[in-house]
Structure 1
């Protein structure tokens, strides 16, 4: 099997010993796209990328947390601007679906999250960078609206879940989606997404260190779990595993401009 690329991992949330071990897996892993949560996370991902060439950092502000203050946002944007040539994408950014589901976000604040996301969408457009998105279910159409408004086509919806109409819209717009090791657990929603989405717009990820159940229960999330994802995708698509691996690897390299 060719080398693997994890299209979405929070590498900065692993400890130094784990990160060093992951970096030494470079015979099996070609790249780790490490997304950021906030400014401190961005800075750590930058340091990791300078230490380990396998690490490809993305800079942004994860939406499932309190909104940044004006000062915090200004510092983040200024830092990103200075370091934009060192990042592979803008991310992770998006909308707070799960916080809203727990009634932790007011309607007014939700509008502010949309405004914040639009700032990142415009930055991605202006800097000609891909954008890695946290946008599921009812948030996904809102995000599609913003992407279309600013003519951003190089968009990646990580661990996507949503209705058929939105999925078809994303597919038509050329947006990419990625699936986690959860696909190996054969949950119908994930199987349907893989079955219906173009193999030319699919990637794989772990979202590590997020833990998984089923065959991965009790195990620390590791990029090599992607092998099981690829096997399941090949089964769902009725395609040869090596062909699937090559296609998805190439998709990811092209999307993120990985040489």
Structure 2
């Protein structure tokens, strides 16, 4: 059984004391790849160091996280563009819209999101999208609206940390995207128990979002890639299929998103 964690911030300072052991535990749980979304300029050095140390296991993305968008957005986007032009990345991410914490820079979030979607299409890279809604605005709906409006040829990727309705799941799938399923699927009131039974496993990928959103029974503690099998088992239970089937399909789904420059990581 092989698993892929399609979204984990393993460069985060919460892993500074035991990062080597954390990666070993992930390997023991049959996790062949960990995809690392970038957040901002400050996270690039640590992420790239890991990518250089484990080039076949820790795959980097490049992007500006919406929660990091502020009045320095122009400089942040310039750094993202420079990195995309100079180095190889497996995706553009983590990008998107966040209406949960602060609405001060929403206009700038849309500018950053639009620009990064265009860069992804130009470079034929998938995107990893963050869509966190607030009380008054639905980030998923507004992100999907923008994607439909832009109609960028070949654009694909993952709606990271998908927690939406069945209608939203079907809309994401219709746009050509996978659904990133993580620890929320194990939460009693997470809502995905009403969605996942009706979504074909062909549209799902696994993620942890480590060190955040740890699954039950670790909820509230630091998350890590080794816990991805808990998520896989939850999907298996909800869909009444085997864990091996979930692993096989979600791994194939993830690998299908890898750009050509990662051809060496695809099954022979």
- Which range, TM-score by smaller chain? 0.7 to 0.9
Tell me, in whole angstroms, the C-alpha distance in 2 between the residues paired with 1:165 and 1:203.
18
- Cα RMSD of the aligned pairs, angstroms, is 2.0
Higher helix share: 1
CA deviations over 1:210-254 (Å, ceiling 9, x no partner): 143641146431212111111111111111221111111111111
Unmatched runs of 5 consecutive residues or more in structure 2:
260-264
Verify: 1:9 aligned to 2:8, yes or no. yes
Cross-structure match for 1:18:
18
Q: CA contact under 8 A between 2:97 and 2:139: conserved in structure 1?
A: yes
Judged with a 3 Å threshold, the aligned counterparts in structure 2 of structure 1 residues 120 and 218 are, in CA distance, closer, same or farther, namely closer
Q: CA contact under 8 A between 2:233 and 2:243: conserved in structure 1?
A: yes
Cross-structure match for 1:129:
125
Q: CA contact under 8 A between 2:236 and 2:243: conserved in structure 1?
A: yes
Aligned residues: 250
Within-5 A mapping of 1:1-259:
2-13=1-12, 14-24=14-24, 25-27=26-28, 28-53=30-55, 54-67=57-70, 68-83=72-87, 86-99=88-101, 104-106=102-104, 109-137=105-133, 138-148=138-148, 149=150, 150-212=152-214, 214-217=216-219, 219-257=221-259, 258-259=265-266
Judged with a 3 Å threshold, the aligned counterparts in structure 2 of structure 1 residues 7 and 72 are, in CA distance, closer, same or farther, namely closer
- TM normalised by structure 1 equals 0.88
Tell me, in whole angstroms, the C-alpha distance in 2 between the residues paired with 1:75 and 1:241.
41
CA deviations over 1:177-225 (Å, ceiling 9, x no partner): 1111232234351222322322111011110101436411464312121
- TM normalised by structure 2 equals 0.85
Unmatched runs of 5 consecutive residues or more in structure 1:
none
- 3-state secondary structure, aligned to 1:216: coil
Q: Judge which range, 122-131 or 20-29, deviates more.
A: 20-29
Judged with a 3 Å threshold, the aligned counterparts in structure 2 of structure 1 residues 186 and 111 are, in CA distance, closer, same or farther, namely same
Deviation at residue 55 of structure 1 after TM alignment: 0.3
- Displaced runs of 4+ in structure 1, greater than 6 A? none
Q: Judge which range, 182-191 or 235-244, deviates more.
A: 182-191
Q: CA contact under 8 A between 1:136 and 1:161: conserved in structure 2?
A: no
